[in-house]
Amino acid sequence: MNSVRIGNGCGFWGDSVDAPIRLAADGRLDYLTLEYLAELTMSILAKTKQRDATLGYASDFLGVVDRLTPILATQPKLKIVTNAGGMNPHACARKVAENVAKHGLNSHRIAVVSGDDLMPNLDALLANGHALNHLDTGEPLANVRQRVVSANAYLGAVPIAQALGMGAKIVITGRVADASLTLGPLIHEFGWTHIDQLAAGTVAGHLIECGAQVTGGLWMNADDSTHLETVGYPIVEVRVNGNFTVSKPHGSGGTINIETVSEQLLYEVADPARYLTPDVVADFTTVQLQQSAADEVTVTWSSGRPATDSYKVSVAIRDGFTASGTLVIFGPNAAVKARKCGAILLERLKRAGVSFEHSLIETLGAGSCVPGVVATQSDPAEVVLRVAVRDPNIASVERFTKEFAPLVTSGYPGVTGYTTGRPQVREVLGYWPALIDKTAVVPRVELLTANEL
């Protein structure tokens, strides 16, 4: 193939369930990617799998597959690559296999990429010198081992390419780097191995990994003419030389221009000259952007350096409990009254012998969302009071949830918005970033067999 068209219809678990269908229905894709995972998502899926061993994947994907099957039947060359497998890619793949078989698509072979989950071998890894030190503090993971909920390495694109090479029409992975979902098909189709080629595929994957963020979503100059109500999700057409265009389905809303692409290019980037992935260290400072047509940007001159010898690891640890509640405060001096109501709430708890490791009072509408950044009215007519706490003691947090309603009649005038009930107590999962030597992680690629259907 001289060029490959890849569209990404999902930027996170919770993104539009209609976007993948609209994108695939465009009829011009070779690959549809669906990116479901974030660090918090993996923690949630880990807890879900602990409660039920048959779960632990992004369940939204099953509904998407069900709606995609008529399109797959009419577009036999279209392939799907997704990390919806989360903490349980095999269980996800079996459910998908049942679905496609139900629709008569038995020829659509399904592959599973796994090996990212370090939990089964975590103690052995620690004993063999893989300390998984916290990247910011240097603290060894052994200090909090009993609180670890999940630990996943970010795999790269090569296992995805291998799965496609085995004839898979649907590839379901656990944790892989977001951009690798796009790079994997390019390695498979083009046989890419050169560093700059891998960098180009990584830039393409990074630009589309967050879905509509590159097609006008969150664009600083979006207005009514952007028509975000019908925003189209992104498509990259990548040529074998590494140059590519970013576009969206014809007639869809949103926009693609130098600004939208530049904003996404720099999204979640620490050092633009060293964007670290499992596949390559991409240099975004060499990238050239050109508006080549309406709603089309051409990207050239991607370059990079060899990948590091480590995988990034995302670890989730149990880190206490939290709850937050809100009330609406209106009338004269609303912001002042809201802050005083929050202080009263915490003082009453203190007098009852209840304290917290962390507490926060916010007056949303009076500048608390981004303090000191955006100017606000000196006396807004109404604000939302939000009080949040976090503490290792669940009983203290539960007691906190009972202190909002009394403010309705024992606080300042203008308190309302209390009809939703008491706040919910949630377990806090702390994020522990680490690195692990690539030699300690073994990616696995498997095609589902008949007895797994």
358 pLDDT higher than 90: yes
Q: Rounded to an integer, what distance in angstroms lies between the CA atom of residue 113 and that of residue 133?
A: 26
400 pLDDT higher than 70: yes
Cα-Cα end-to-end distance for the chain: 32
pLDDT for res 377: 65
pLDDT for res 373: 83
The model's confidence at residue 371, banded by pLDDT at 50, 70 and 90, is confident
Nearest in space to 231 (alpha carbons), one of 267, 206, 207, 256: 256
Half-sphere exposure of 311 (CA within 13 A, CB side): 26
pLDDT digits 0-9 by tens, 138-159: 999 999 999 999 999 999 999 9
pLDDT for res 353: 98
- CATH number assigned to the domain covering 316-432: 3.30.70
pLDDT digits 0-9 by tens, 166-176: 999 999 999 99
- Helix (H) or strand (E) holding 204, with range, is helix 195-208
Q: Rounded to an integer, what distance in angstroms lies between the CA atom of residue 12 and that of residue 217?
A: 14
For 245, the token pair is 């265009």
Domain boundaries, the chain: 3-116+154-308, 316-432
pLDDT digits 0-9 by tens, 45-99: 988 998 999 999 999 999 999 999 999 999 999 999 999 999 999 999 999 999 9
Report the length, in residues, of the chain: 453
* Residue whose entry in the numeric block shows the structure tokens 């300390």: 131
The model's confidence at residue 450, banded by pLDDT at 50, 70 and 90, is low
SS3 per-residue string spanning 374-437: CCCCCCCCEEEEEEEEEECCHHHHHHHHHHCCCHHHHCCCCEECCCCCCCCCEEEEEEEEEEEE
pLDDT for res 452: 58
- What is the reported pTM? 0.95
Three-class DSSP category at 172: strand
The model's confidence at residue 378, banded by pLDDT at 50, 70 and 90, is confident
Sheet holding 296-300, edge to edge: 288-293, 296-300, 244-247, 235-239, 3-8, 31-34, 79-82, 170-173, 110-114, 444-447
Nearest in space to 199 (alpha carbons), one of 277, 270, 303, 286: 303
pLDDT digits 0-9 by tens, 402-415: 999 999 999 999 99
pLDDT digits 0-9 by tens, 225-267: 999 999 999 999 999 999 999 999 999 999 999 999 999 999 9
383 pLDDT higher than 90: yes
Q: Rounded to an integer, what distance in angstroms lies between the CA atom of residue 273 and that of residue 284?
A: 6
Nearest in space to 263 (alpha carbons), one of 227, 212, 224: 212
pLDDT for res 374: 76
pLDDT digits 0-9 by tens, 163-205: 999 999 999 999 999 999 999 999 999 999 999 999 999 999 9
Q: Rounded to an integer, what distance in angstroms lies between the CA atom of residue 235 and that of residue 211?
A: 9
Torsion sign (Cα): 423, 427, 428, 429: negative
